[in-house]
Structure 1
Amino acid sequence: MPNYSFRCRSCDDTFEVSRPMAESSDPAACPAGHDDTVKLLTTFGTVGRGAAPAPAPRQAGGGCCGGGGCC
Structure 2
Amino acid sequence: MPSYAYRCRGCGDTFELSRPMAEASAPATCPQGHEDTVKLLTTFGTVSRGGSGAPVAPPAASGGGCCGGGCCG
Q: Give the Cα–Cα distance (whole angstroms) in 1 for the partners of residues 2 and 11 of structure 2.
A: 24
| 1:31 and 2:31 matched | yes
Q: Which runs of 4+ in 1 moved over 3 A?
A: none
TM-score computed with the length of structure 1 as normaliser: 0.67
Q: Give 1:51 deviation, angstroms.
A: 3.8
Gaps of 5+ in 1: 55-71
1:13 equivalent in structure 2: 13
CA RMSD of aligned residues (A): 1.9
Question: Residue in 1 aligned with 2:22?
Answer: 22
Alignment of 1:1-71 (within 5 A): 1-48=1-48, 50-51=52-53
Which range moved further: 19-28 or 39-48?
A: 39-48
| Range with greater deviation from structure 2 (17-26 or 41-50) | 41-50
Offset of residue 46 of structure 1: 1.7
Greater C-alpha radius of gyration: 1
Aligned residues: 53
Structure 2 unpaired stretches of 5+: 57-73
